[in-house]
Amino acid sequence: MFEGKKIGVVIPAAGHGTRMGGSRIKQFLTIGGKPIVVHTIEKFQQSKEVDDIVLAAHHDFESELRSLVSEYNLSKVRQVVRGGKERQDSVWNGLLAIKDYNPDIVLIHDAVRPFINHQLILESIQAAIVYEAAVVVVKPKDTVKMSVQNGFINQTPQRDNLWLAQTPQAFHFSLIMKAFKKAIDDGFYGTDDAALVERIGVSVKIIEGTYDNIKITTPDDLTVAEGILSRHLAQITRS
């Protein structure tokens, strides 16, 4: 479909996930009997458009992640690199590693968003090819309020103009490298990868995603994820 374009994926999986609690970090918790991070990697493994995957892991869990890659035959994973102190540092290490495989487009995706679907992967790649940068988003379901420091509401933004950022976020490889290098030079840390591109003056195309594409962060999210997985499996069985 994207003839002549090499597509790389960087998955930062180095977080400790303190909000989840318990002794296991969230990436290695299971849903449907399989680690969350494996569900996530498999979505890109199964996409014929994706050529190469690089994972960034916390140094305490590099060997465990490599073992899962082998156990589940995730053959597109080329390297498991060491993550950094912050997510942005981990992504940067992943970008440096995937550079060896000469990607034209790179998708950056959270390790704990296991319900990304193939259509959104395709749309992300296509949008990045055309617009240089793209981010999957959803509309907020609730009214958003803004407050001042004294704890009172001072603004209610129009919900039609608001979007909640998800992943994947997709970029021309040369562009995201330029954006990261500028952020490093400036000592700037953004809340997501698209923010680094925005600050060098590049507009980011939005792709409307799905509410199933949740980021599993808390125990409640884990319960919701089990429900989403059961529903997806039931749909596959019926089809």
User: How far apart, in whole angstroms, are the C-alpha atoms of residue 59 and residue 76?
Assistant: 21
Residue 85 reports pLDDT greater than 60 = yes
Which range is least confidently modeled, 23-32, 47-56, 67-76? Answer: 23-32
Q: Please give the pLDDT value at position 175.
A: 98
102-129 mean pLDDT: 98
Of residues 22 and 1, more confidence is placed in 1
pLDDT per residue as tens digits for the range 181-224 = 999 999 999 999 999 999 999 999 999 999 999 999 999 999 99
Mean residue pLDDT across the chain: 94
Q: Please give the pLDDT value at position 136.
A: 98
Q: Do residues 17 and 88 make contact, with C-beta atoms less than 8 angstroms apart? A: no
Q: Please give the pLDDT value at position 115.
A: 98
pLDDT band at 23 (very low <50, low <70, confident <90, very high): low
